[in-house]
Amino acid sequence: MSPSLPAALAEHTLQQLLDRVPLKEVGAPHRTLRSPMTPDPVGVVRVFQGDGVVERVVTVSLVVPMIHLDSHMVFAFSRADSAVPHFTLDSVYGGEYYAYHLDLIPRAELSPHLSYMDAAYHPLTPLYESASERDGLTRAHISPRQHALMSPWMLVHRASEEAFTGMTPIVTSYLDHWLGLLEGFSPEVLESLADTDLAARDAAVRGNLFSPDVDPVWLQVSRLLGQDASDEIRALLIGEPVA
């Protein structure tokens, strides 16, 4: 059986990442996800650890046909002391529409660090503008608080089937740019970030980004999977040690 469009996009993206970044999977999978709604498994969590710039990759797949949910997330985290943004992709079908969320999450405030912004994000501008103007896309709703935690180059849309299928090259281009950033920033860019405690900022941002108070999806995950499973997934994303 062929994977669904959201699963195929996430799996393609993950494989491209694994082909180019040295990582080791922890468990196979790390956790199988279950729900009181059905005796069958509803998803898996996979975790990959690395010793280089990329410290951890977490994927979460949830497929629950009875509520028309087909959701796949890929999140790649750079080291706590790295200026390389985190890479994130959400790939979803919700019964009536497809949706995706694609971004590189900043490791420093962009407005006072122009050279960092230009190196990490400005090359994405033509791609961002082209992707935003495609037919079959409508802006997905996320709150201003969530926007504030992401980058201005974030792409987040609901999509027709045709538009969603056409997003694969956009996701690949974002990923290729991010993989290029793993090679490092110039000394001038790094010097400009000397006023930022990268690790402390990252801990604060990730705590907020994955907070149920900020993102209501975690309340839905808790209802679907139970509080323990939801808390474990959040802990992996926040950066706590793998149990």
The full set of domain ranges for the chain reads: 5-238
Fold of 5-238: oxygen-dependent coproporphyrinogen oxidase (3.40.1500)
Those residues with Cβ within 8 angstroms of residue 110's Cβ, 6 or more apart along the chain or in another chain: 116, 117, 121, 151, 152
Q: How many percent of the chain have pLDDT more than 90?
A: 92
Backbone angles phi, psi at 13, to 5 degrees: -65, -45
The pLDDT assigned to 1 comes to 65
Beta strands 98-105 and 137-139 are unpaired
For residue 2, pLDDT over 80 is answered with no
Say which range, 86-90, 139-143, 173-177, 212-216, has the weakest mean pLDDT: 139-143
Q: Is the pLDDT of residue 54 over 70?
A: yes
On average, the pLDDT of the chain sits at 95
CB 22 within 8 A of CB 51: yes
Q: Which position has the token pair 């045709």?
A: 162
Check: CB of residue 61 under 8 Å from CB of residue 80: no
User: 224 falls in which pLDDT band (50, 70, 90)?
Assistant: very high
Q: Are 73 and 218 in contact (CB under 8 A)?
A: no
100-158 pLDDT, tens digit per residue, is: 999 999 999 999 999 999 999 999 999 999 998 899 999 888 899 999 999 999 999 99
In tens, the pLDDT along 82-104 reads 999 999 999 999 888 999 999 99
- DSSP letter for each residue of the chain: -PPPHHHHHHHHHHHHHHHHS--EESSSSSEEEEETTEEEEEEEEEEEE-SSSEEEEEEEEEEEGGGTEEEEEEEEEE-TT--SPEEEEEEEE-SS-EEEEEEEE-SS-STT-HHHHHHHTGGGHHHHHHHHT-TTEEEPP--HHHHHHS-TT-EEEEE-HHHHHTTHHHHHHHHHHHHHHTT---HHHHHHTTT--HHHHHHHHHHHHT-TTT-THHHHHHHHH-HHHHHHHHHHHHTPPP-
Q: Sort 56 into a burial class: Cβ within 10 Å, 0-12 / 13-18 / 19+.
A: buried
Q: To which residue do tokens 């996320």 refer?
A: 142
